[in-house]
Amino acid sequence: MRFSIFTVSLPDYSPEEALKEMKAAGYEGVEWRVTDQKPSADGKPSFWAGNRCTWPLASFVEDAPRIRAMTEAAGLAMPSVGTYVSCEDLASVERAMQGAVKLGAPMLRVGVPGYDGKAAYLPIVDRAVGAYREVEAMAKRIGIRACIEMHMNTITSSASSAAAFVRHFDPKYVGVIHDSGNMVYEGFEQYRMGLEILGPYLAHVHFKNACWQNAGTRPDGSADWKSVAAPFKKGSANLAALMTALKAVGYDGWMSFEDFSTEEPLVDRIRGNIAFVKEVYKTVSAS
């Protein structure tokens, strides 16, 4: 297995700084974040706004040769591109795909609609399947793989829901990003079962961690709970169990890290996470 970082989790670093730190820590790849983001309200970089390790979608195609050159000069691969384009915005999907191909990346994330329980689920899925047929056709024409992510608050929060969605498509051009950290929030299924359900659609793996905290009391007097980001070693997602399941299904691709915890300085997270994951992987591989 090979390890990379999705740069959404490196908001304080410029791309050049990120590449230097990742290479020094022993990562083999980088998953660039690509989106037209807003500036942060306080002027400080954050995960979701003002992130310094993000490339703008608007100029992604033009920037791609430079991004590729600097990444390859650092000796890092690009297993995937972390875009925020929606399957219902085909113009943005095409721009993202063209940029990803210029990078030499084999896949990119293309999102599906959100879901909050306020509207009927099946009509949303039907609409999204129709839109993703266009995405699939575009991926085939351009020569890349479009991937949905298992993500809370979307129509594909679990392996089962993701598999039910992608079964309409050719796994050569459409895949799934497995994310056990997101499954803490919503969509948990036994890891091996979910991986087997995904079968040939399993394209990429993200790892982050999270845990549940008491959030007070609901109006009816029952306890309320919320899920929050946690360090790799302290969250509910079981890395050893995940890697054991990945081994069982024969996955030996990339695992891309996203750490949204802030208990430790960023440089310590970069170095500590890969050391921890490599040790777990070593133990699981030997069993």
pLDDT of residue 93: 98
pTM for the model stands at 0.97
Q: Are 227 and 184 in contact (CB under 8 A)?
A: yes
Amino acid occupying residue 68 = R
Residues of the chain with pLDDT under 70: none
In the chain, domain spans: 2-286
Residue 177: predicted pLDDT: 98
The pLDDT score that the predictor gives to residue 62 is 98
Q: What are phi and psi of 41, to 5 degrees?
A: -65, -35
pLDDT of res. 274 = 98
Contact assessment for residue 149 and residue 109, using Cβ atoms and an 8 Å cutoff = yes
* pLDDT (tens digit per residue) in 52-87: 999 999 999 999 999 999 999 999 999 999 999 999
Q: What is the pLDDT of residue 7?
A: 98
pLDDT value of residue 132: 98
Torsion sign (Cα): 146, 150, 153, 156: positive
Architecture of domain 2-286: Alpha-Beta Barrel (3.20)
CA angle, 149 then 283 then 263, to 5°: 60
- 3-class SS at 141? helix
Tokens 């920037």 — which residue? 63
